[in-house]
Amino acid sequence: MSFLSLVGVEFKKIKRSKIFVILFIATVILWIPSILNAEMNFNMQAEGISPENNFFIQGFMGMAWFMFPASMVVGTVLLSQTERTNKGILKMLALPISTIKLCLAKFVVLLALAVSQILMMVGMYYISAAIVTATQDYNFILSPIFIFKEISSISISTIPMLAFFWMLSVCIQTPIFSIGIGLASIVPSVLIINTKVWFVYPMSYPFFVITSEYGKLAKNLTTAQVEFFPWIPVAISITIVCLCISCFRFGQVERE
Amino acid sequence: MSVSLEYKKVKRTGFIPAFLWGGTLAAVVPVINMAVRSEMYLGQPNSPIQILMGASWQMIAMLNILLVVVGPCLLYHLEFADNAMQKMKSLPIRESSIFLAKFILTSFMCIIVLTTEAISIIFCVSYWFEIGNNFWLELAKNFGYSFLLTLPCVLLSLLIASTFKNMWMSLGIGVVCVFTATMLPTNNFVLSLFPFAIPFQIFVNTETTQAMHYIYAAIIEIVAIGFAEFVFIKVRRSLE
């Protein structure tokens, strides 16, 4: 079985899971306060950020700090639990398919969930920006090229975090621990981005990227900037180590 | 009887260690906070417990709420995962008594978690400050209040968990609710009554009349959610 058709099979499995509904509700709830408090964007002149940039950044900061990582923890639960019922995973493991491929196919689905939530965020951003433009009589809509650049850097920065969550859900058999560790690891990311060693903590990457972007857009505010040197090698090695461990552990408990 | 049965069910699921570890993790927050930047807090004029709660309760409450969301999801996942719920339904047990037993178990775990956190506050006060005259009374009132305000959150997450057969649905909705709670403005009384937002309130930093309002609101929420679950179970049973 080719890798692509395996990924297709994995997508079919989550077709009726209603996960997209949850991801979508989360993005809708995220933008409601921004729409209601839109006039606050005009009070941010002290930081030297324009209202439209502020509107965009505040929304995406709300996403990156808790909602997005927590939704991805839910995504890992979905991937590990859909096949638990009636021991579906045992049947998959009995087929002549390499487990590594199967594990990576599931990870690709997780990546796709992440991308789809970020795209929903962008869609909701444009809808709410249009609403706010109408209510506040000021153009809040930013150019799609700028938004695309921003969201692609956020999306790439989330990969190590997703690999870590995936490793948790594969390696820890009791679901409460994998969920608990995943959710608890999100909480301190706000503190960790202010330290010098933020790059060893993958859960803080998306929030760090968006805060550094905030610092770039706000002239009078200095936030830590992205430095590629220790970060990229560390991030890549974290991703590879997490994926290797999860591929190695995948299906081992079931086969025993 | 059914509470001890629930206890037996969760024995090997990691439910109890998860609460113990979660409580310990939350208890470490004020200690680290004081150890790293005690000079920020030592000069403040308020009573030690007010300073400590103000400095670290947001994070502790967040961890508590996450525990309270995950715990009930697991409790009902146990029943739904291998169709144990169907077997339970065929026994001469009311579904609402299962719910009640799960609620009592989770509340009991919440008491343990809050006690762990109270011990950490006692440690911080005795190490960095001095234990004053009415410290113990203040501490007891404060954590009793926190416990009461946690109960609506426990009930609502149990209600969500009992509604959906798939754990990702109940967990997903729980996570969305926690996220909503973090977005709500804290100075608005009505919005801060949202069951997932109400545990963020601190007794020692609110005026007594305001605190009494929260206590009444929490009791009303407990009754309302309990009643809603009771009706929901009856309706679902008759529709099946």
Q: Write out the residues of chain A at the interface with chain B, using a CB-CB cutoff of 8 A.
A: 17-19, 22, 25-26, 29-30, 33, 62, 66-67, 70-71, 73-75, 77-78, 81, 84-85, 174-177, 179-180, 183-184, 187
Residue of A nearest to B170 (CA): A74
pLDDT along chain B (240 residues), means of 10: 81 87 91 82 81 87 91 88 82 86 92 94 88 86 93 93 87 89 80 88 85 92 93 86
Q: What is the DSSP letter of A141?
A: P
Q: Do B168 and A73 touch (CB under 8 A)?
A: no
Of the two residues B117 and A85, the one the predictor is more confident about is: B117
Burial category of B49 from C-beta neighbours within 10 Å (exposed 0-12, middle 13-18, buried 19 and up): buried
Total residue length of chain A: 256
Q: With beta carbons less than 8 A apart as the criterion, state whether B168 and A77 touch.
A: yes
Side chain identity, residue A187: V
pLDDT value at position B38? 77
The percentage of chain A sitting over the pLDDT mark of 90, rounded to a whole number, equals 23
Pick from A23-32, A151-160, A219-228, B118-127: least confident: A219-228
Dihedral angle at the C-alpha atoms of A200, A205, A207, A213, nearest 10 degrees? 110
Q: Which residue in the block uniquely carries the two structure tokens 């209510």?
A: A135
Q: Do A85 and B173 touch (CB under 8 A)?
A: no
Q: How far is A120 from chain B (nearest CA, A)?
A: 15
Residue of A nearest to B82 (CA): A85
- DSSP 3-state of A90: helix
Residues of chain A with C-beta less than 8 angstroms from the C-beta of B65: none
Cα Rg, chain A, nearest whole Å: 20
Among the partner residues B15, B81, B175, nearest to A70 by beta-carbon distance:
B175
Q: Do B168 and A78 touch (CB under 8 A)?
A: yes
- DSSP 3-state of B94: coil
Asked whether residue A84 carries a pLDDT value surpassing 80, the answer given is: no
Q: Which long-range contacts (CB under 8 A, 24 or more apart) does B84-90 make?
A: B89/B237
Q: What is the mean pLDDT of the segment spanning A140-155? A: 89
Q: What is the DSSP letter of B236?
A: H
Residues of chain A with C-beta less than 8 angstroms from the C-beta of B182: 66
Q: Which residue in the block uniquely carries the two structure tokens 């040197």?
A: A229
Predicted-complex ipTM score: 0.85
pLDDT value at position B133? 79
Residues of chain A with C-beta less than 8 angstroms from the C-beta of B184: 33
Among the partner residues B14, B25, B179, nearest to A184 by beta-carbon distance:
B25
pLDDT value at position B191? 84
C-alpha–C-alpha distance, residues A29 and B172, integer Å: 13
Task: Read off the pLDDT band of A99 (50, 70, 90).
Answer: confident
* Interface test with chain A among B67, B165, B175, B186, by most A beta carbons within 10 Å: B175
Asked whether residue A223 carries a pLDDT value surpassing 70, the answer given is: yes
Among the partner residues B67, B81, B180, nearest to A84 by beta-carbon distance:
B81
Q: With beta carbons less than 8 A apart as the criterion, state whether A206 and A157 touch.
A: yes
| Chain pair A-B, CB pairs under 8 angstroms | 87
Dihedral angle at the C-alpha atoms of B64, B25, A207, A168, nearest 10 degrees? -100
Q: Which residue in the block uniquely carries the two structure tokens 């699921």?
A: B13
Q: How far is CA B145 from the centre of its chain?
A: 11
Among the partner residues B18, B82, B180, nearest to A176 by beta-carbon distance:
B18
Contacts of A165 (CB under 8 A, 6+ apart): A69, A72, A73, A76, A110, A182
- Burial code (b: 16+ CB inside 10 Å, e: under 16) for B123-162 equals ebbeebbeeeeebeebbeebbebbbbbbbbbbbbbbbbbb
Over residues A194-205, the pLDDT tens digits come to 888 888 898 888
Residues of chain B with C-beta less than 8 angstroms from the C-beta of A176: 13-15, 18, 70-71, 74
Q: Which residue in the block uniquely carries the two structure tokens 């990227």?
A: A209
* Interface test with chain A among B171, B178, B188, by most A beta carbons within 10 Å: B171
Q: What is the mean pLDDT of the segment spanning A114-128? A: 92
Residue B178 has φ and ψ, to the nearest 5°, of -60, -40
pLDDT value at position A115? 93
Phi-psi region at A86: left, alpha or beta (left = phi > 0; alpha = psi -120 to 50): left
Q: How far is A77 from chain B (nearest CA, A)?
A: 6
Residue of A nearest to B12 (CA): A174
Among the partner residues B21, B168, B185, nearest to A17 by beta-carbon distance:
B168
pLDDT value at position B27? 92
Q: With beta carbons less than 8 A apart as the criterion, state whether A58 and B159 touch.
A: no
Among the partner residues B15, B176, B185, nearest to A176 by beta-carbon distance:
B15
Query: Which structure tokens are listed for A148?
Result: 């695309």
Question: pTM score > 0.80 for this model?
Answer: yes
Among the partner residues A74, A175, A177, nearest to B175 by beta-carbon distance:
A74
Among the partner residues B70, B168, B183, nearest to A183 by beta-carbon distance:
B70
C-alpha–C-alpha distance, residues A33 and A36, integer Å: 5
Q: Do B81 and A74 touch (CB under 8 A)?
A: no
Asked whether residue A36 carries a pLDDT value surpassing 70, the answer given is: yes
pLDDT value at position B220? 94
Q: How far is CA B161 from the centre of its chain?
A: 15
pLDDT value at position B1? 58
Residues of chain A with C-beta less than 8 angstroms from the C-beta of B161: none
Q: Do B173 and A22 touch (CB under 8 A)?
A: yes
Task: With CA atoms as reference, report the closest residue to A69 among A231, A242, A203.
Answer: A203
